[in-house]
A and B are shown apart, each in its own frame.
Chain A
Amino acid sequence: MSHEISKLNKAFESRIRLGIMSVLVVNDSVEFSSLKEILNLTDGNLASHISALEKLKYIEVTKQFIGKKPNTSYRITEDGKKAFNTHIDALERIIKISK
């Protein structure tokens, strides 16, 4: 069991960060505003968690202009997918073992 716990990712201890990853893993690309709405967060709160995930290279950012409006969207990287799946697998196994 301790072996499985060691596989849990420290970066995903925050529910918000895990939430961001959950949304990005099933969507190709998600805009900042949609992410904010789905997770029900404030701008600042979401931004700080996003930059943490970006530093770990779990997600990548695309900034572009749609007309005159700046538009920021996010997608998950291969590393991010791997990290997320490992974390979920570990969670599931921990639950199974202690059942």
Chain B
Amino acid sequence: MKNQSEHLETLSEIRSLMERSSRFASLNGLSGVFTGAFALIGAFAAYYHLHLKLFQPNYYFYSVATEGYRNISFYTFFLTDASLVLILSLSAAVLLSVHKAHKKGLKIWDNTAKRLLFNMLIPLVSGGIFCFILIYHGYMVLVAPLTLVFYGLALINASKYTFNDIRYLGLLELAIGLSATIWIKHGLFFWALGFGLMHIIYGIIMYYKYER
């Protein structure tokens, strides 16, 4: 007959198998730090480009159509800026995950990775399309807050398929996004707070919790 410690060992083995086979474990905390840094640089570029001061709400007036015309150069700048932040962050996340998987001898493109990506992309892509539609209709000012809201929802949805910690990051992003919608003139500031600072803090916490 099996004894106590053997039963306990069996249970913890079962738990670890369930975790390993259903959650993507190669997400690297450092990619959060990179994403945050890119977002902050992007936000500073916007502040610099528009000659804004930190708490100045002038950004709002750029993003509201003036006399029925859209400020095309403002749109182009913002879309380029935001796309650069997105592409650089995603590249960093993918590269660092590949590195971590390699180090731990795991396959990177397995079922857990596919499920994580798919479930994260549902809110993210629909949010992205929604934001483009808003831009098309000239509601540029809502885009910064809503990217935070949809990103938060994407993280909450994705948290079932990787480290559960990103669920709380998702809730924070959601709260910051909703606040940004209320204090809409400070959208850019909230955007820098949510995408920049929160990612850096979370990345560092995750790094110390799992990587070291």
Residues of chain A at the chain B interface (Cβ within 8 Å):
5, 15, 18-19, 22-23, 25-27, 30, 34, 37-39, 88, 91-92, 94-95, 98
Known: A95-B8, A98-B4. A34 touches B14 (CB 8 A): no
Residues of chain B within 8 A of A30, CB atoms compared: 21, 111
Known: A15-B13, A30-B111, A37-B107. A23 touches B18 (CB 8 A): yes
Report yes or no: B110 in contact with A19, Cβ–Cβ below 8 A: no
Inter-chain CB contacts under 8 Å: number: 45
State whether the Cβ of B157 lies closer than 8 Å to any Cβ in chain A. Answer: no
Residues of chain B within 8 A of A27, CB atoms compared: 21-22, 111
Interface of B is mostly: helix
A94 to B6 alpha-carbon distance, docked (Å): 12
Known: A27-B21, A95-B4. A88 touches B111 (CB 8 A): no
Report yes or no: A38 in contact with B4, Cβ–Cβ below 8 A: no
Residues of chain A within 8 A of B21, CB atoms compared: 22-23, 26-27, 30, 34, 38
Residues of chain B within 8 A of A39, CB atoms compared: 17
Known: A30-B111, A91-B7, A95-B4. A18 touches B14 (CB 8 A): yes
A2 to B1 alpha-carbon distance, docked (Å): 11
Residues of chain B at the chain A interface (Cβ within 8 Å):
1, 4, 7-8, 10-11, 13-14, 17-18, 20-22, 107, 110-111
Known: A30-B21, A38-B20, A94-B7. A22 touches B14 (CB 8 A): yes
Residues of chain B within 8 A of A37, CB atoms compared: 107
Closest chain-B Cβ to A17's Cβ sits at a distance in Å of 12
